[in-house]
Amino acid sequence: MKLEVPYKSIPDMILARVAKSPDAQAFGHPGPDGSAVWLTWAEVASRAKAIGAGLRSLGVGSEDRVAILASTRLDWILADFGIMCAGGATTTVYPTTEAEDAAYILRDSGSRVLVAENPTQAAKIEGADLPELTHVVLMDGEPAAGAAVPQLTLAELERRGAEALAAEPSLIDDVVAQIQPDHLATLIYTSGTTGRPKGVELLHAGWCWEGVAQASVGLMRTDDLQYLWLPLSHSFGKTLLCGITHIGLPTYVDGRQDKIIDNLALIRPTLMCAAPRVFEKVYNRAVTSAQAAGGAKAKIFAWAVRTGLRKVALEQAGKPVPAGLRRRYALANRLVFSKLQDRLGGRIRVLVSGAAPLSKEIAEFFAAAGLPILEGYGLTETSAGNFVNRPGALRIGTVGQAIADLECKLDTDGEILVRGVGVMRGYHNLPDETAAAFTEDGFFRTGDIGEMDSEGFLRITDRKKDLIKTSGGKYVAPSHIEGLFKSICPYTSQAVVVGQARNFCTMLVTLDPDALAGWAAGGPLEGKPYAEVVSSPEVEAMVAGYVKELNEKLNRWETIKKFRILPRDLTIEDGEITPSMKVKRRDVEKNFAGDIDQMYAGALAEI
């Protein structure tokens, strides 16, 4: 059945939300003293309209690109909404983007205005050849008087817009009335795991569809309180903004990842979406803390997890949970799991994971702890939200069912193909790559391999380009092995399986500094630098034990014959992971080629 979308555009949706609940809480943010400060929907719209009018005064017209180079914060949302109200299109740039790539994105997109978080971010485009760029707007800091591109503050832009609206009150309403569903709303450059980023053209129709579709599957409710820290430069964050606007739920916004735990206790949300790395860190902390406690506490923790997993296994199989197991689980919840629930604020109704694969074993642990994670799936090219598990209908190990009227089918090689309103118009300035991304009948080629059961639950088995084919002709799905290892070894930060055209598989491993510090506490390695700890024989032996346990769960051709613990974690800055926490395999293999070569040195003689 076709999903009915009652909006022509994002600003149309914003104005409809304001008409329905002008005085309801919309977005909260940290105030000067750290406490939460909230804006109503009427206040959000008033400021967005003023910013939009200010952008119109700078010459921004229909579908003109305005770039945002900033971290997740309230001003990001206000700027984005303002761009929408001006009839423009937002070009998103991650705050971690290097200067060369930032300039490339602005040049390729033809952005006319840059909204930068501060002078440091604005400095990334200094000296760059950007003929279309006319102004730089600063969220924080003072404009540079001698800048090659004129600068002004966001507050000044908003003030100018308010004056324009005072003189012509219908200015923005008239602009919004002209925006059509097929107009460009957003240009998001894929961080990509290979090659130069491509600009993905996403339309108002697709984002409005996403907002309504999210409501149709029960992920968000008006009585929820959401905590939003995800990068808004990423499609996952953007699609959440659409759901928030359509449904009207209050959302606290703070992109500082080091504040996540503090904010969970402060805000006590009922809904939070995250990349798997956040859930992995919570899992690592819980397991390693229990192990470090030792004695009765460790035994009680292990018993509670076993009890929870038995209950989850029965529920997943559609079988009743016996009364005795229910009583034991209630005790496990009181003694162990309630403490973990409190760590996340104590009110979580829904946790959603996306942007990268979530280990099935870690998902089972959270379900056992009474914190089921609803894994979803989508791509930048498809407006992020395509498949998701529903509240009360979780099938662990899958990314759920297609949302709303999205069409999906599997190609002959298992590649997932999707078609629907949320799919991109194309890659910006890349007609050949756009054509190659679609089948003859208009389905988008996701590049992911999957399996779908009779009820439409989709299981992602791997990236088509990431499948490893050993020199013996065997195919290996690295993400499955990596996720399994993370669930087995609670000290893991990242794991990267290597083996393409090799005669066996190896693995690069990085360890979580916080978890490792706990492991080293009380021993001779306590307080030592990370690089020294991970190079010690003790850590080598510890990881070797976990690799042995991993291999016992794998087919013979998948087993990890050798591993190497890296002297540092993978980073965005070194180009090894994307801002959405996806590992860029080829860059990792390039940066650590020496370590890989050493693992395969003399390999023929060993086989």
DSSP 394-448: --TTS--EE-TT-EEEE-TT-EEEEESTTS-SEETT-HHHHHHTB-TTS-EEEEE
- Token code pair at residue 390: 């529903």
Residue type, 300: I
What is the CATH architecture of 468-606?
A: 2-Layer Sandwich (3.30)
Helix (H) or strand (E) holding 368: helix 360-368
- Token code pair at residue 523: 């021993």
Which residues neighbour 248 within 8 Å (Cβ) at sequence distance 6 or greater? 17, 20, 21, 24, 26, 41, 222
Which residues neighbour 464 within 8 Å (Cβ) at sequence distance 6 or greater? 413, 415, 447, 448, 449
Going from the C-alpha of 533 to that of each of 293, 313, 472, the distances in angstroms are 21, 38, 36
- Token code pair at residue 72: 């997740």
Kindly give the parts of the chain with pLDDT less than 50: 192-194, 604-607
For the chain, the structural domain boundaries read 10-270, 276-346+348-463, 468-606
Q: How far is CA 129 from the centre of its chain?
A: 31
Are the C-beta atoms of 398 and 367 separated by less than 8 Å?
A: no
As a whole number of angstroms, the distance between CA 113 and CA 136 comes to 6
Sequence length of the chain is 607
- In eight-state DSSP terms, residue 336 is I
Q: Is 343 exposed, middle or buried (0-12, 13-18, 19+ CB in 10 A)?
A: middle
Amino acid 191: pLDDT? 61
As a whole number of angstroms, the distance between CA 75 and CA 115 comes to 10
Number of H-type helices and E-type strands within the chain: 23, 26
Whether 10-270 shares its CATH topology with 276-346+348-463 is answered yes
Q: What is the pLDDT of residues 79-106, one digit of tens each?
A: 999 999 999 999 999 998 889 989 999 9
CATH T-level assignment (fold) for domain 10-270 = Rossmann fold (3.40.50)
- In eight-state DSSP terms, residue 473 is S
Amino acid 573: pLDDT? 85
| CATH assignment, 276-346+348-463 | 3.40.50.12780
